[in-house]
Structure 1
Amino acid sequence: MKPAGEHLPAARETTPAVGNTKKGLETRARVIRGAREALENEGIEALTTRKIAASANVRLATLHYYFDSKEAILLAVLEDMIADMAISYENAPLASDPDERIAELFQLIWHYIGKTRNRQIAQFELTLYALRTRGSEWLAERQYGEYISFYSQFVIDDPGLSEPERTRITTALARFILIGIDGLILQTFSLNDDEIAEESVEALIMATQAYLKRLKGAQVG
Structure 2
Amino acid sequence: MRSTPKSAETRARIIEGAIRSLETHGIAEVTTRRIAAAANVQLATLHYHFDSKEALLLAVLDRLNAAMIEALRQIGRDLAIEARLDALIRASWRHVTSTRDKQIAQIELTLFALRSVGTQWLAARQYEAYVAVYADLLIDGIELPRAEAERAALALGRFILCGLDGLILQSFSLRDEAAAQAGIDALAVAARDHFRRLTATPHA
TM-score of the two chains, using structure 1 as the length reference: 0.82
Per-residue CA distance 1:158-210 (angstroms, 9 max, x = gap) = 27544433332222211111110010011111111122112111111111111
Find the aligned partners of 2:118 and 2:73 in 1 and give their Cα distance. Answer: 35
Give how far 1:27 is off.
Answer: 0.7
The alignment status of 1:108 with 2:91, answered yes or no, reads: yes
Per-residue CA distance 1:85-140 (angstroms, 9 max, x = gap) = 34434433355322221111111111111111111111111122122233332222
Give how far 1:21 is off.
Answer: 1.0
Shift of the 117–127 alpha-carbon distance from structure 1 to 2, 3 Å rule, reads same
**For the aligned residues, what is the CA RMSD?**
2.1
Aligned equivalent of 2:35? 52
Q: Which has the higher contact order (CA 8 A, sep 6+)?
A: 1
Find the aligned partners of 1:94 and 1:110 in 2 and give their Cα distance. Answer: 18
Amino acid at match of 1:78: L
Of 171, 188, 191, the residue aligned with 2:154 is 171
Aligned equivalent of 1:192? 175
What are the equivalent positions in structure 2 for 1:136-175 lying under 5 Å apart? 136-158=119-141, 160-175=143-158
In the alignment of these two chains, the number of paired residues is 202
Aligned equivalent of 2:47? 64
Of 52, 77, 88, the residue aligned with 2:71 is 88
Structure 1 gap ranges (5+): 1-15
Find the aligned partners of 2:53 and 2:129 in 1 and give their Cα distance. Answer: 19
Shift of the 131–89 alpha-carbon distance from structure 1 to 2, 3 Å rule, reads closer
TM-score of the two chains, using structure 2 as the length reference: 0.88
Give how far 1:156 is off.
Answer: 3.8
Aligned equivalent of 1:118? 101
CA contact (8 A) 2:156 2:195 kept: yes
CA contact (8 A) 2:113 2:123 kept: yes
Aligned equivalent of 1:35? 18
Of 58, 62, 68, the residue aligned with 1:75 is 58
Structure 2 gap ranges (5+): none
What are the equivalent positions in structure 2 for 1:18-29 lying under 5 Å apart? 20-29=3-12
Aligned equivalent of 2:189? 206
Find the aligned partners of 1:201 and 1:159 in 2 and give their Cα distance. Answer: 23
Identity across the alignment (%): 47
CA contact (8 A) 2:18 2:38 kept: yes
Find the aligned partners of 1:194 and 1:47 in 2 and give their Cα distance. Answer: 30
Shift of the 35–166 alpha-carbon distance from structure 1 to 2, 3 Å rule, reads farther
Aligned equivalent of 1:3? none
